[in-house]
Structure 1
Amino acid sequence: MSDSADDGLVPGTDIPFESLPKVSLHDHLDGGLRPATIIELADEIGFELPATDADDLGDWFEESADSGSLPDYLATFDVTLGVMQTREGLTRVAREFVQDLAADGVVYGEVRWAPEQHLQRGLTLDEVVEAVQAGLEQGVDDVHAEGQTIRVGQLITAMRHAGRGLEIAELAVRHRDRGAVGFDIAGAELGFPPANQLAAFDYLAHHLFPTTVHAGEADGLDSIRGALFHGRALRLGHGVRLAEDVTIERQDDDNTYVSLGVLAQWVKDREIALELSPSSNLQTGAIAQWGDELVDHPFDLLYQLGFRVTVNPDNRLMSNTTISRELALLTETFAYDLDDLETFQLNAAAASFLPLEDREDLADAISDAFDEL
C-alpha cells in the first residue's frame, strides 16, 4: 500500500477513509465477530478454539480463509457459528457488529446471516431472529448515544445446500416489519443453483419481498442467470464473474475496446448492483482466471464500463478488513479519487432495500457529507 493508504488517509488529502459515509450491502454477521468476543463466548459454553489469544485467533482466521477455495474459506465459520448458538451470544454479536460498522463510518448496513445455522442449543428460527434484532437495536442505540447516525436491517439467508429455502423465506416475510429487509441464499454455490430454491423465490415474489443472491463467485454465468431468472435477484452477491461475459476486443495506448454479452448488457442496463468484495474475492479464488493480485480484479473494468459496482467487506474477520480498508486498497491500486469513492456509496444507497424515499434521503446525506469534506 502507498504511504497515504497506510496512514488511513485518502491519497492527496488529510481525510481518513473511516470518516467517509458508507453503505454496507454484503457483510455477514457470522463473519464479523471480534476475536476477543469469540474467546469469551467460547469460554462460557465450553467450545474449543484453535487459539485462545485474540491476536493469534485473528491471525488463524485470516490465514485459514486465505485458501483460494470457497469451501475451505467457509470452513472457518464452524468456529464463529459455534459461539452463536445462544440468545445472549447472538444478541452480543449483533450489538458489537453495529458498533463496529459505525466505527468504520457506515451509515446504513444490511446484515446478512442464516438463522437455520443457529439452532443447535434449542432456539427456534423466530427466537434467533428476535435475538439478533434485539442486538442490532441495542447497537443502534449505542451509536446514537455517541452522537452518530446509523440504520441497519437484516438480510435473512437460506443455506443453498440445506433444502429449507421455503421455510426461511416464510421466516423472512414474517419478520418484514420487525427488522428483515431482504432475503439471500448463500453457501456452496457450485452444484446448488438458485433453481433448487424455486419454491422460496416464488413465495418471496408473491409477497413482494426483495432478494439478493450469491452468484458469480464460485460459479460462472449460469449461476448469475439463475439468480436473475429463478431468484428474481435485484442485486448479485459478488457477481464478479459477470466479467466472463465481457470480451476485450482490442487495446491501444489510451483505450480498451470491449463488447458485452447479452447477460452482462442486461445487468448493466437494468443497473443490477454487484456486491463486490475485493479481498474476499482474492481469498476464495473467485478471480483466479484473471490473476491473483488486486490489480487483476475486474472491479475497475466493470466500473469503467458503467456497471453499478459497490464495495463490501464480505467477512471482516476472515479477510481482516473493513469497507475503509477495501476502499483504501482499491484507491491505491486503481488511482481512485473522492468522486469515485462517493459514486461507490451512491451506488450502494440506490441498491439498498430501503423504501424509495429513504434511499433518496440516504443518497442526499452521503452527497452532503462528501461536499463538506
Structure 2
Amino acid sequence: MLFLPFQDSVPPTVACNTPYQHRFLIMKVYIHVPFCHSKCAYCDFYSTPRNEMMEAYTDTVGKEWTSTGGNSVPDTIYIGGGTPSSLPLPLLDRLIAHITTTLPLREFTIEANPEDITSEWAEHIACHTAIDRVSMGIQTFDEDSLRFLGRRHTGAQAVKAIETLRNAGIRNLSCDLIYGLPGQTLEGWKSNIDKLISLHPEHISAYLLSFEPKTRLGVMLRKGTVEEATDELAERMYAYLCDATRAEGYCHYEISNFALPGHEAIHNSSYWDGSDYIGLGPGAHSMVNGVRWSNPSSLKGYIDSQGSGFRVIEDEDAKNRFNDVLITSLRTSRGLDPDMIPEEFRKEFEQVSSRLILSGNLIYTPQQRLVIPEDKWLTSNNILLDLIVV
C-alpha cells in the first residue's frame, strides 16, 4: 500500500480585510442538486424529475446559504446529486453566484453524466466558472449493462465526453465505475478498468454494487431475478482494481478511491478526516462543531421552507461521535490517529486493537497511525464491528 498524506489542511479561520475585521470560518460546502432525467436501477440518492422546480430550488439554495452559512467562507465546493449537469447553464451560474467568496477555492467539483457533456457545456465550465474538477459517472463501458442499469449514455459517449472535457481545458477529471454488476465476469471488469485507465483520468472511484432495499435492483434481488456477485468474485475484482491502478501510478487512498499524486479529492477527504462541512439542498447532510444535521428529502418542502428551519438535528452522544471518527478514518490509507481516541474508550480500544494487530488486521504506518491493510479493505466491516463502541 502507498501511504501518501492528504492535502495540507487550511487554517480554521481567516481574517477578512474589512473595517470590522470579522473572522470567517473556512468551510467545505456540498450542494445537492436533486434533478435527474430518470432513476438508475441502483441509485438510492434523493432525486426527482420535477425540472419545472429548478429555478425555485436554485434560489432557495442561496437563501439557505445565507441562513446557514453565517460567517462561513467556502474553501471547497462540491455540486453533487442527482445530476448537476442537467441544470441549464444560466441556472448553474445563478447557483454558483449564490455561494460567493473572495478567497480562492482549493477545489470546486461538479458531478456530470456523459450524455450532458457537450462542447458548449464543457467550455462554459472551463472558461466561465470557477469549477476546476469534473466528476463523471460512467459506471461501466458495457452496453448491455448500461441499458440494464437504466443509464442514458453509451460506452462510446463516455469516451467522447472525456475527450470533450479535455479539449475544453479540464485537467482534473474523476471517473466512477461500478463492479459486481449482475452477470459481470472478472474478465468483463478487467476490460472496464483497463479501458478507463487508458483514458488517464486523474482520479478513479470504483464501487462494489450495493443492492439498496428501495432501489429497482434491490426489489429484483428480493424477487430472485438477479444475484449478487459472490464474495470470491468481488474480492478478485477488487484485487485487480488495486493492482491495475497501482501499476499506473495511482495512490489508493480510500477504500473506493484512487488518485494520481496530488489529485486526491480534497472535498471528499473532509468526510473521512472529521472536517466541518455544510450541505445545502434537499437530502444534504452537514456537520459543524460536532453537530450533525440533515435536510429531509423533499424538494417541495425545501422550497416551501425558503431555506430556513428545514433541517433536522441528529442526536449524537460520545459513542456515536467516536464511532463516526473510527469508521471514516479507517476507510483511508491515512488511518486513525491513536491520540484521537477519547480517554473513556481508550482501554477497551487498546485491548481489541492489540488482538487485531497480532492477527494482521490492523497495522501501524510509519507515522504511527493505525490502518487496515489494503488487502482487507473490501471486507473491513468485520474488523470495524470489533472496534466500534456499543
Normalising by structure 1, we get a TM-score of: 0.38
* Higher helix proportion (structure 1 or 2): 1
